[in-house]
Structure 1
Amino acid sequence: MSRHIVAPVQDIPPGSRKLVTVKGRPIAIFNIGGEYFGLLNRCPHQGGSLCEGRLTGLLESSRPGEYRYTRQGEILRCPWHGWEFDIRTGQSYCDPERIRTRAYAVNVEPGRLVVEGPYVAETVAVSVEQDYVVVDM
């Protein structure tokens, strides 16, 4: 598994979101009360941008006439057709057995640890043969 630095913490304050691209994949990063979550920015229904979706909660009931509003800000609604997803897991509330959007682990790490690595530099051998420069891949 590879790790990618996507933003300084101050760029995604609590209650906000940021769309980033990692290895060509659009990923929506959400900060919910200081916890960070990442979801593929494509609704599996018809490709709507989940980063533009509304964060809501979950309305639950144990019996008729009794309702509880829970998980405030943890349910993401697609802006196109209203499909709902658990921001923690990507699980769909429209068809939980079959549909989900890809969830990515997101962590906050101190800058000093990020600077230390470990990093592996990709190198490519280069040689000069007569008048040609050749790159070995």
Structure 2
Amino acid sequence: MSAGAVKAPPGASRFVVAKASDIAEGGRLLVEVGGREVGIYRLNGRFHALLNRCPHLGGPLCKGGVVSEIYAPVPGDIRHDASRLFVTCPWHNWEFDVTTGQSYWSDRGPRARLFPVGVESGEKVAEELSTGRAERVPGPYKAETVPVAVEDDYIVLSMRPTRPA
């Protein structure tokens, strides 16, 4: 398991992996949760999540590019649909629709594995974290800690007057 990865606790299925602002429009974030690497994309104002494994030959699917659809209904009539987006595997250039996982290299072949992903308010996330319905994914950095030892008991005086009850 790599640094910043999370071992999924038994029964946990929802994980807080980033702030929405961490992923710019057109951007991608790779996270590892429970031993699986997932690519989270922000495309055309929506979030999409795909397993970082190409179903064709197991390549790192989410390390490839994102392309929009270009098609020709008849020869010479080339059209572009920026609303239809595909993740392209870097190994063999297979394309997978980010909304369905469907490959258009092989309509009968396996689909890319999609995961539900969404944006929730900080208030809702805080409540889910405190009740254990969601788990945090730690970041890649860890602060240095210093061991502290207490060798005796001490009397501590507060100079704030006690208010009568």
Q: TM-score range by the shorter chain?
A: 0.7 to 0.9
TM-score, normalising length from structure 2? 0.67
The answer as to 2:113 corresponding to 1:102 is yes
Structure 2: runs of 5 or more not aligned = 1-11, 134-165
Identity %: 42
Aligned length: 121
Per the TM alignment, residue 112 of structure 1 is displaced from its structure 2 partner at its CA by 0.4
Matched, 1:66 2:61: no
Does residue 2 of structure 1 match 2:13?
A: yes
Q: Which residue of 1 aligns with 2:66?
A: 55
1:1-137 matches, cutoff 5 A: 2-71=13-82, 74-117=85-128, 119-120=131-132
SS in 2 for 1:116: helix
Is the Cα contact below 8 Å between 2:84 and 2:97 reproduced in 1?
no
What runs of 5+ residues in structure 1 fail to find an aligned partner?
Answer: 122-137
Quote the Cα distance in structure 1 between the aligned partners of 2:53 and 2:117: 18
Deviation readout 1:109-131 (Å, 9 max, x if unpaired): 0100111127348xxxxxxxxxx
TM-score by length of 1: 0.80
CA distance in 2, matches of 1:57, 1:75: 6
SS at match of 1:30: strand
- The CA deviation string for residues 24-61 of structure 1, in whole angstroms up to 9 with x for no partner, is 11100011132100000011122211221111111222
Which one has the largest radius of gyration? Answer: 2
